[in-house]
Amino acid sequence: MSNDVQLTINGKNYTAKSDQTILKVAEENGIFIPRLCFLEGIHEEGNCRLCSVRVNDQQNLKPACRTHVEEGMKVITDDLDIYRSVSANLELLSHKHRFECFTCSREDNCEFLDLLGRYSIENDLNHMYGLYDKPLYFSDSSGVMVIDSSKCILCGRCVSACEQLTGLGILNFNGRGSDTYVGPALFHNLEDAGCIYCGKCIQACPTGALSEKDDVKSLEYALRDPKKTVICQVAPSVRAAIGEEFGYPMGTNVEGLMFAALKALGIHQIMDTNFTADLTILEEGTEFINRLENGGPFPMFTSCSPGWVNFLELYNPEYIPNLSSCKSPQQMAGALIKTYYADKLHLDPKNIVSLAIMPCIAKKEEARRPEMGRDGYRDVDIVLTTRELARLIKHKKIPFTKLVPMRPFGELAVYTGAGNIFGATGGVMEAALRTVTEILEDQSTPIEFKEVRGLQDIKEATYTIKGTEVNVAVVHGGKAIKTFLENLKTSEKQYHFVEFMGCTGGCINGGGQPIVPARMYESKDIRKLRASVLYDIDDTAEMRKSHENPSVIKLYETFLGEPNSHLSHKLLHTHYAKRESYSKIK
């Protein structure tokens, strides 16, 4: 139990709780203390020593992130000795860091570079480049992520994030002494290390040592090729977060500006991913109804999140029969772009570049899966994260904040509010319930199923549908997935439908979303603020049930026939299989 204590910081009196650290109290009161390795609730080791402060006039400095306040404590956060100590530590770190700031993915929000500027640290760049012509470890062979040890400062935040948020422990410290580097444990490549590509390590990294594989150049070439038509899809959660890259407060809807920016970049057509989110509900919902009418297999698992699918194939393949055969909305969109849409636009599919803007780095890996294409071409050719799109807009000097908002352009840009909420945890489940209940009851049913909303790691609800009690659950984040599946093996409860998302909070907190500095990460509820954008769009939408989307109805009438038809299965469904990682190979 914590008690109130009185202390002074830089000569001023403050009241704090006894279980708080000096760092926490200082930041709550607007007092700056430098920090780098500390990430609350994830990495609290205090090994960088940049947050050093003087306590009670003692000669030895204390780490503010690890020192709890006490009654009568006197704290100094900045004097000559502290400045020298922090500067010396920053200089040592800078000597092990390769500076390529103008090409770095973190050029605008590098926590390390910010501190170097604050403390006027000078660098001998010629020395840096000479020292790191050959990084201790560099890998981009996965085609999804890049690990570059020459930019790593060995803070350990990525290692802890992987363990704390996924429970997988893919990353670790390898080597010894000056040869220490962070990479996949046991010196393996990332692609066979059991990584699910959730991107939590990238978001935890304070530098550019971890990043997504940059695919902007591929788009640059496509936009300049007169033979190519670039057709773009944008995931719902991108519009809830990309504004942060241009100075908008977290939780700002910049949908109209986003579409205007895509137009300014030269994108030819948009088929919004929200449209195929609606389509997913018809396909997945019909699959669920068929299981209800034919006795299973239960529970049915959603298949929208590629990080979750990776997890299942790698760690719990015995449950693959429970997984919906539906492709994700991204891949459904890609399949339609190269077939239905190509025919309507009188285009050869081989001359279409299918571009996806996603909040997730696992989407890059999903698009590369061999089964996600046909006739010599892939459903999705290029996947850019929200961060990559923002960098491209900035590099092109497009004045994002001054653009005139516009609606999406393209024939299949119509979508419902249900498509939007796919980006938040529980959104897929709620959208499915809106449609499944109405189809089975054959009457109007509730629009909102708020029991499956919220940020609790595992949420459960029971609904009576046409006289049958249906048990549903919503699970998000690798660690919660692991817990739920372990409990499922011994549970006597019959679950019927379970939504899984690889990232906590769902896609709004995906590994490709804007990176939030550690100080802001701890002071704002990122997931709640971004999700509020999607629920606000849903609240004001004219249509809020996927099966009411007129473009979806027309698609079935003129092309697909009906949900789960032969053509639907050919284009919109897939299969999943057991995969091995080195951790499973004996």
One of 27, 111, 366, 438 is an active-site residue; which one?
366
For residues 132 and 96, give the distance between their C-alpha atoms in angstroms, rounded to a whole number.
Answer: 8
| Strand (E) or helix (H) holding 352 | strand 352-358
- Torsion angle, CA of 510/513/514/515, rounded to 10 degrees? 30
One of 507, 532, 581, 583 is an active-site residue; which one?
507
Task: Clarify whether 287 is annotated catalytic.
Answer: yes
Task: Clarify whether 507 is annotated catalytic.
Answer: yes
Task: Clarify whether 363 is annotated catalytic.
Answer: yes
Task: Clarify whether 304 is annotated catalytic.
Answer: yes
- Tokens linked to 529: 């603020």
| Pairing between β-strand 52-55 and β-strand 73-76 as defined by DSSP bridges | antiparallel
One of 287, 365, 438, 499 is an active-site residue; which one?
287
One of 27, 283, 284, 438 is an active-site residue; which one?
284
Concatenated DSSP letters of 20-38:
-BHHHHHHHTT-----SS-
Task: Clarify whether 371 is annotated catalytic.
Answer: yes
Task: Clarify whether 284 is annotated catalytic.
Answer: yes
One of 200, 327, 338, 363 is an active-site residue; which one?
363
One of 105, 149, 303, 324 is an active-site residue; which one?
324
| Strand (E) or helix (H) holding 17 | strand 12-17
Task: Give SS3 for 577.
Answer: coil
Task: Clarify whether 104 is annotated catalytic.
Answer: no
For residues 363 and 380, give the distance between their C-alpha atoms in angstroms, rounded to a whole number.
Answer: 10
Tally Cβ neighbours within 10 Å of residue 96: 17
Q: Which amino acid is at 134?
A: K
One of 51, 152, 162, 304 is an active-site residue; which one?
304
List of long-range contacts for 221-228, beta carbons under 8 Å, 24+ apart: 222/353, 222/355, 222/381, 222/382, 223/265, 223/266, 223/267, 227/351, 228/351, 228/352, 228/353
One of 71, 318, 371, 562 is an active-site residue; which one?
371
| Strand (E) or helix (H) holding 482 | helix 478-488
* E-assigned strand segments in 203-338: 210-212, 229-234, 269-270, 300-301
| Pairing between β-strand 468-476 and β-strand 458-465 as defined by DSSP bridges | antiparallel
Whose CA is closest to 283, among 567, 535, 551?
567
**Residue 343 burial (10 A CB sphere; 0-12, 13-18, 19+):** exposed
CA angle 192, 368, 239 (to 5 degrees): 110
Concatenated DSSP letters of 271-289:
--HHHHHHHHHHHHHHHHH
- Tokens linked to 579: 């995969």
| Strand (E) or helix (H) holding 259 | helix 255-265
For residues 301 and 498, give the distance between their C-alpha atoms in angstroms, rounded to a whole number.
Answer: 5
Q: Any idea which residues carry the catalytic annotation? A: 284, 287, 304, 324, 363, 366, 371, 507
